[in-house]
Structure 1
Amino acid sequence: MNFLIYSTLLFICSFLVCNYLTPKIRTLMLSKNLAAEPNNRSSHDVPIPNLGGIAFFVVLMISFYFIASTEYLGLDAKNDVYDPSNIIIALIPGLTILFIVGLKDDILVIAPLSKLLAQTIAAVLFVYHYSKTINTLYGFMGIEDLNPILAGAIAVFILVAVINAINLIDGIDGLAASASIIMFAAFGFAFYVINHIFLFSVCIVMIGTLLAYLRFNLSSTQKIFMGDTGSMILGFMLGVMAISFLALDPSDIARLPIRGENLPIVTGAILIIPFFDTVRVFMIRIVKKKNPFKPDRSHIHHIIIDKFNISHRKASFVLGVSNFLVIILISFLAITTSNWILLTFFILLLILLTLFFFIINKSSWFLRIKLRNIRKQRTAAQQSNSEA
């Protein structure tokens, strides 16, 4: 089978299955009065179904059946085996745990520490069974080989961190899904270049699924949220991609144009929006002596919406484009730039981003813009009421 045809079919089928399941899930939730009630941080004023992540889980499970082997596809996969690392068996326990815990949290709400424990168990199970390990950093900051125990601990940390990072940016319509599409596309391109067809296929499945979900998430009449069920599955799969990318063999890295020592920085660039926001928010909450897991409106997407008075769609678009541009910039520099120079540049970029959001959050100029916009909205509402 032609690889282009195979990839296209995989994308279309994932899109269609999610597109079929999502409205069914929404209708069922509304009929059972299971929906997210609006609160002081919500942009919606009516209950919205929040179990869109069920479709993610179902599509992934179905896709594993069809992409487990290339024997019947006639594709030239790495080592003639489609899943050489037996990654599907490593994925299923963790995905199932996160699906069950996310489902319970979306319906009943569970304690943050309980969720963190479940995420850690899911991560440990995956790392323990996955045959790929981050056993070397190829000279990143002068570090070569890693102790196996340390390598496993780093992999577990990455998984748990990415799960929570995606969960935290899922605060406005479209952001988690659109940012994840960009991140899966970046990882998918890299795996395509080195001929890791299974990992590339999973990225295609996730992109198709998320595009179908976005159609409903951004709808004004058929809106649905992915909930913790969806965000944890997304975070888990992105964490898996990050670990697989960092654990590439020397022969695989030789196929990539970037230098091996720059892999961690490129990975950081791919995940920059969720990680930057998570680290920034956690530091702010800790400095203010607040629970770092307690929700508030200190996220970068909330600041952009509040200060520039723009819609969720526009904020998600701005952050998505920013993520894409950072990936392109860092990946281009990673081809020839030495590790320490690129690391310094990346750190300076993070500092500039931090200063940018600090300035617009504290600036009185932006406060005046916000107040002026509020007055305009009130005036328009009063005129509308008087005309009615």
Structure 2
Amino acid sequence: MFFLETAISIFIGAFLLTYLTIPKIIKIVEYKRLMDNPNQRSSHSSRTPTLGGIAFFYTLIFALFFIRGRDVFDEAMYIIPGLTILFIVGLKDDLVVISPGAKLLSQVFAIAFILTNPSFTIHSLNGFLNISEIPYYLYLIIGGFMMLTIINSYNLIDGIDGLASVVGIVIMVIYTTIFYLTEEYFFALLSITLNASLMAFLGFNLSSDKKIFMGDTGSLIVGFIISILTIKFLALRPDSYTELPFLLENAPLIAISILIVPLFDTARVFAIRIANNKAPFSPDRNHTHHVLIDYWGLTHKQASFIIGCFNLLFVMLFIVLGSKARNLGMVIMLVSVVVALGYIFFKYNYSFATLKQKIMLRRKVDKIKGKVEEVNGKKKKKNLSDQAQNKEEVE
């Protein structure tokens, strides 16, 4: 009961703090003219305020102050330096743009604070693919690579209105449930805090008159928290899994299913870019959400909702399978789904030149249709006018 009261208080406080301060951020950004200018790759057509992630940063800092007593290994004091590093780097990147190398180096420093805390040490994969004990140096390599992948994968899906928020909300709901069932209340409250901020932000991100983007400031912070929750999930004690509805050895696959949207999109985009002899981080409109909008004609809200529902259903499917199936069968299932999705999205030609031509062609077709409808409308109106005039003459 005490946890429930704390959780409700944290959720309401985080939601209100984010919701009430984002309008202030919008006013300052507009006054200082720090808006995001659209370019040929942008999904928006007008200058839009960014830096919404600032609200995430201080909301998390406030929340960590109030929930710090629930962290067994003083995790809050290790999270704050990493959050601060990524906040500064994201803010700078939103304002003046920094190189991918500098951004990657800052992420390594932020991750180092987390990996040195004993609470996050992964001692074993508990039989996943017959892997049990893990040496400490191997944990540092695997954990570091995993956190870097999650942070950058989440950063890359922030390309249309609502998507990053919706996917983040789905992930936070799942991790809140997992950490509540395993009695890791500090991490459950951390998930609730970020979930409340994302929900408050989503309304502004989808708004037509008070729109704001989270920017790299927000996506780096959210990706960092997601990576922390993921590595903590994999570091849970074996006895904690007795309350979870899936087998202990399937935990790595459950973690992949939770992060399927950013991981699949990043792998797919990198494969396309490398196949086209481009750098993996080179900008384009080859992301899954861009495909849904540019090729399938969906709106931002529709694409975000569909991807979010897919993420949730995919996790639920793997939790059900993970309660009975051994990890080899789950691996086969995961590979099959990824191959099927890869085929669906790879069968199109996603080179940027071709995409641009198709978009321009569609606009020309829509323009021609509009003119034809306008001409037909004028003809119809003229016919009605002539009929009325003839009627008057007859009378």
Relative to the length of structure 2, the TM-score reads: 0.90
Aligned to 1:77: none
Aligned to 1:164: 152
For 1:244 and 1:317, the matched residues in 2 are separated by 28
8 Å contact from structure 2 (residues 43, 159) kept in 1 = no
Secondary structure, in 3 states, of the residue corresponding to 2:37? coil
> How far is the alpha carbon of 1:284 from its aligned partner?
1.3
> Quick one: distance in 2 between partners of 1:171 and 1:371?
20
Matched AA of 2:184? H
CA contact (8 A) 1:276 1:350 kept: yes
Shift of 1:89: 1.2
Instruction: Quote the residue 1:275 is aligned against.
Output: 263
Instruction: Note closer, same or farther for the CA distance 1:337–1:367 as it changes in structure 2 (3 Å cut).
Output: farther
For the residue of structure 1 that corresponds to 2:116, the secondary structure is helix
Which of 218, 224, 227 is equivalent to 1:230? 218
The one-letter amino acid paired with 2:145 is: F
C-alpha separation in 1, matches of 2:181 and 2:366:
50
Matched, 1:196 2:178: no
What is the CA–CA distance in structure 1 between the aligned matches of 2:262 and 2:85, rounded to whole Å?
22
Distance 1:139 1:249 in 2: 14
Q: Deviations over 1:206-250 (max 9, x none)?
A: 111000000100001011000001000010000001000000101
* 2:29 counterpart residue number: 29
Gaps of 5+ in 1: 70-81
Where do 4+ consecutive residues of structure 1 move more than 3 Å? 366-377, 379-387
SS of 2:323 mapped into structure 1:
helix
Structure 1 pair 95/311, CA: closer, same or farther in 2 (3 Å)?
same
Listed one character per residue, the Cα deviations across residues 146-193 of structure 1 (whole Å, up to 9, x for unaligned) are 010101111111111111001100000100110010011111100011
Equivalent of 1:138 in 126, 140, 164: 126
Report the Cα offset of residue 100 of structure 1: 0.3
The correspondence of residues 74-153 of structure 1 with structure 2, limited to 5 A, is 82-153=70-141
Residue 16 of structure 2 corresponds to 16
Once residues 249 and 190 of structure 1 are traced to their aligned partners in structure 2, the CA distance between those partners, rounded to angstroms, is 13
C-alpha contact (below 8 Å) 1:127/1:156 kept by paired residues: yes
Describe how 1:49-68 pairs up with structure 2 within 5 A. 49-68=49-68
Secondary structure at the aligned position of 1:12 is classed as helix
Shift of 1:21: 1.2
Query: Under a length normalisation based on structure 1, what TM-score does the superposition of the two structures give?
Result: 0.91
Distance apart, 1:383 and its partner CA: 7.6
Per mean C-alpha deviation after superposition, the further-off stretch among 280-289 and 223-232 is 280-289
Q: Which of the residues 243, 246, 254 maps onto 1:255?
A: 243
* Residues 18, 212 of structure 1: 8 Å contact kept: yes
Task: Specify the SS of the correspondent of 1:68.
Answer: helix
Q: Which residue of 1 aligns with 2:170?
A: 182
Q: 3-state SS of the aligned residue for 1:308?
A: coil
Is 1:377 paired with 2:366? Answer: yes
**Partner of residue 76, structure 1:** none
Farther-moved stretch of structure 1 (366-375 vs 256-265) = 366-375
Secondary structure of 1:164's aligned partner: helix
The alignment yields a C-alpha RMSD, in angstroms, of 2.2
Identity of aligned residues (%): 40
8 Å CA contact 2:73, 2:117 repeated in 1: no
C-alpha distance in 2, partners of 1:293/1:310?
25
Distance apart, 1:375 and its partner CA: 5.0
For residues 314-340 of structure 1, what are the alpha-carbon distances to aligned partners after superposition, in whole Å with 9 as ceiling and x for unaligned?
000110001011000001100010110
When Rg is computed on C-alpha atoms for both structures, the one with the higher figure is 2
Number of equivalenced pairs: 373
1:6 shift after superposition? 2.3
1:378 partner letter: K
